Each structure stands twice: as C-alpha cells, then as structure tokens.
Amino acid sequence: MSDLPLPAPHLSVTGHLTRLRSRLVRCVLAILLVFCALFPFAQQLYSFVSQPLRDFLPSGATMIATGVTSPFLAPLKLTMMIALFISMPLLLHQTWGMIAPAVYRQERRTAAWLLAASVVLFYAGMAFAFFLVFPMMFGFFTSVTPDGVAMMTDIALYLDFILALLLAFGLAFEIPVATFLVIWAGITDVQTLQKSRPYVIVGCFVVGMLLTPPDVFSQTMLAVPMWILFELGLLASRSVNKPRTEAP
C-alpha cells in the first residue's frame, strides 16, 4: 500500500478545471505581486543588468535608446522577466501540486528532489552567465571594435540579447536533471549514454555555437559546463531505481 499514489478526490471535469484555474490565478498573482514590488526599482535593475557591458565601454561612450518608448519599455520588460524568474519556484510548486496525486509514494520524494534541483540549477546557470560569461564576452567584443567606430548599444537590443543568453544558460544547466530523468524513466541506461559520450561532447559545442555569439570564448563557456553537467548527471544516475510501470 505504501507504494500506491495518494488517493485523489473524485472530481468532475468542471472540478478539475476549477482547481486548475485556482492554481493559475495563484501563479499570476504571485508574478504580479513580485512585479509590483520591483517596479519602483526598474531603472536601477536595468542599470545593474547593463553593468557588464558598460564596464567595457570606452570613456565617454554610453548606451542609447533608438525607440521613443525604449527608455520606459526596456526596464519594464526586464522587471517583468525578473518577477517571472523569482516566482519560478512557486510556479513549479503549483504544477507539482497538480501531478503529485498521480505519482507513487516511492517516487514522490525523488520527483520532489528533481524539482528542487531544477530550480537551483536554472538559477545557477543564469548566475554563471551573468557573472562569468558576460564580462569575458563583452570584454572581447569591445576589444575588437574597429578604429573609428563608436560602440553604443541600443538598450532594447541589449536586453533581448542578454535575456536570450540567460535563458540558454539556465536551460543548459538542466542537463543533469534531464539525464537523470531519461535513465529513471527507463528510456535509456548509463552504459548507453557513456558510449554516446563523444557525440554528446560534439553536441554540446554545436549547441554552444548556436546559442551564443560567434566567438570562441562564449561558445566554450557554454559547451564545457554542459559536458561537465552531463557527466554529473551520469554519476547521479548510477544508483537510480526505475519507477514502477504498472497502472496505479
């Protein structure tokens, strides 16, 4: 009996939709509350996020706004994205609350650990990009600016650029969780993935080439951590127990 899922109350389709709606409302309210708390500091947040580039701008150079509404919309968009990132643990918790009743008790603890690890790794990936990759990348870009060219980046284009990279690094750091999941679900095993290591390494560098700017530093800074995280995922999966496959 201890291996069975928790009994879920019998609900009609309307009941399930009502529960889904209430959880969605909580998620939206959480994002809005965090956004409202951060909105007064929108300009300071953008100054902080743009610091990695501004540190390397030549003396007298500044960032520019080519759009009429960019000085307002760029910090607003950044604040909304930060509110979404901060609210991510609650969003995942609400999602987990929907699927937990259908999960066996034996696997529920493992799934909870995976959920927590995915949040931590996502934040770690963004921090790695912001504090380590961005300074190296922007230092390289400013160093190769041709003579006679003034480097003045548009604030909206800069924001889109760094948000894409932060998301790419955050998702790339989920590799250990993804590796663990495919082994835990019985899709493959550790030995098969070990034999595929050369292809995985090549794939990491291909992903790094596609998701980062065309310079070897940022590509390597994404590809090498992805490879290391893949190895950590294999290490964590060696003693994994596959979940039960019989119907609840």
Q: How far apart are CA 52 and CA 135, in angstroms?
A: 5
The region that residue 213 occupies, defined by phi over 0 for left and psi between -120 and 50 for alpha, beta otherwise, is beta
Q: 196 pLDDT exceeds 90?
A: no
Higher pLDDT residue, 219 or 243?
Answer: 219
Neighbours of 1 (CB within 10 A): 4
Residue 131 within any structural domain of the chain: yes
Domain carrying residue 35: 13-174
Give the DSSP letter of residue 129: I
Residue 223 within any structural domain of the chain: no
Residue 242 within any structural domain of the chain: no
Task: Name the one residue in this structure whose structure tokens are 């990279």.
Answer: 165
Residue 201 within any structural domain of the chain: no
Q: How far apart are CA 128 and CA 124, in angstroms?
A: 6
Residue 158 within any structural domain of the chain: yes
Residue 239 within any structural domain of the chain: no
Average pLDDT, integer, range 204-214: 80
Residue 64 within any structural domain of the chain: yes
Angle, helices 216-237 vs 175-184, to 10°: value is 30
Residue 57 within any structural domain of the chain: yes
Work out the pLDDT band at 4, boundaries 50, 70, 90.
very low
Three-state DSSP class for residue 5: strand
Higher pLDDT residue, 65 or 211?
Answer: 65
Three-state DSSP class for residue 113: helix
Work out the pLDDT band at 2, boundaries 50, 70, 90.
very low
Q: Give the model confidence (pLDDT) of 122-154 as tens digits.
A: 999 999 999 988 988 888 888 888 877 788 889
Number of domains the chain is built from: 1
The answer to whether 70 and 208 are in contact (CB under 8 A) is: no
Average pLDDT, integer, range 63-71: 90
pLDDT value at position 246? Answer: 45
Nearest-Å Rg of the Cα atoms of the chain is: 22
pLDDT value at position 6? Answer: 47
